[in-house]
Amino acid sequence: MDEYFHIKGKKILVTGASSGIGRGISERLANAGAHLYLCGRDRNRLDTVANSLKGNEHQPLLGDLTSSDVQMKIATECEKLDGVVLNAGLIELMPFQIHNDQSIRELMEVNYMAPTLLLQSLIKKRKISRNASIIVISSVTSANFGSIGGTIYGSSKGALEGLVKSLSIELGRQNIRVNSISPGIIETEAIETLKKSLGEESFQNDLKKYPLGRYGKPKDVASAVHFLLSDSSSWITGINLVVDGGLTAHS
């Protein structure tokens, strides 16, 4: 079975590796034998993740990805990559009317500008191998599916999905694949924080919309990432893979 999902020895960059989905992705990829570059802002949490992973060759790369210096430092310090998982992001749900210039710009900076400019730096520095797989973590709240409070958050993710479509065409001739994954609610630190501000009850009601009867776990997204990084998905590019326990099956 392993031969179909072989990623042993592949060099893969994971952003947002210090928490939630990114940590789950890193655990899965390390268990499968990949060599990881782990990005995050919080030194303690990033080191804790790096030290807990299988294998000891993983490299933490610290910094705020909205900084062009950090984007450049990462693109300089990593070797040629077989995979990139652009997962770091900010989940902020609030009514459109409450948003202001700063909150809109912050969501677009963290969720769209930072991964886009990091990816461009990696490409310009020729750090993406032929045959590489690039994965962007979007959300079911994006261009095709809305949610209350998701106007700007969903816009930032919709912009990312637009990037995936055209970039997959531009990079296709180098056999570099570009795909996105759209998770439904995944139980992470970010969702714990949202539960505190929006209230547990609204989540209990929301959970009823999930046909499989549970929210996702980071490992559910990690499985999809593993597949898209492996040669088992070698003829898949430009898609958005929905991992949502059936949420968007509803009309």
Ligand X SMILES: NC(=O)c1ccc[n+]([C@@H]2O[C@H](COP(=O)([O-])OP(=O)(O)OC[C@H]3O[C@@H](n4cnc5c(N)ncnc54)[C@H](OP(=O)(O)O)[C@@H]3O)[C@@H](O)[C@H]2O)c1
The two tokens of residue 42 are 């919080």
What SS3 class is residue 72? helix
What SS3 class is residue 215? coil
Q: Does 66 bind ligand X (CB under 6 A)?
A: yes
Query: What are the E-state strand segments in 45-194?
Result: 59-62, 81-86, 128-137, 177-183
- Beta carbon nearer to ligand X, 6 or 217: 217
What is the per-residue binding string for ligand X in 118-157, x denoting contact by CB under 6 A?
Answer: -------------------x-x------------------
95: Cα separation from own chain's centroid: 24
Q: Which of 12, 111, 91, 126 is nearest to 59 (CA)?
A: 12
Q: Does 45 bind ligand X (CB under 6 A)?
A: yes
How many residues of this chain bind ligand X (CB under 6 A)?
29
Determine which one of 4, 37, 112, 153 is catalytic.
153
- Residues 137/84, Cβ–Cβ less than 8 Å: no
- Angle, helices 20-31/218-229, rounded to nearest 10 degrees: 50
Q: Does 160 bind ligand X (CB under 6 A)?
A: no
CA distance 48 to 125: 29
98 contact partners, CB below 8 Å, separation of at least 6: none
Q: From the CB of 100, what's the least distance to ligand X, in Å?
A: 19
Q: From the CB of 70, what's the least distance to ligand X, in Å?
A: 8
The two tokens of residue 94 are 């609030």
Q: Does 188 bind ligand X (CB under 6 A)?
A: yes
Q: From the CB of 184, what's the least distance to ligand X, in Å?
A: 7
Q: Name residue 14's beta-bridge partners.
A: 38, 85
What SS3 class is residue 28? helix
- Beta carbon nearer to ligand X, 188 or 240: 188
What is the per-residue binding string for ligand X in 75-114, x denoting contact by CB under 6 A?
Answer: ------------xxxxx------------------x---x
Q: Check if 37 is active-site.
A: no
Q: From the CB of 138, what's the least distance to ligand X, in Å?
A: 7
Q: Which of 41, 38, 62 is nearest to 50 (CA)?
A: 38
- Beta carbon nearer to ligand X, 93 or 236: 93
Q: Which stretch binds ligand X (CB under 6 A): 53-61, 171-179, 189-197, 225-233?
A: 189-197
Q: From the CB of 139, what's the least distance to ligand X, in Å?
A: 4
Question: So which residues are the catalytic ones?
Answer: 153
Which residues would be at the binding site for ligand X (CB under 6 A)?
16, 18-22, 40-42, 45, 64-66, 87-91, 110, 114, 137, 139, 183, 185-186, 188-191
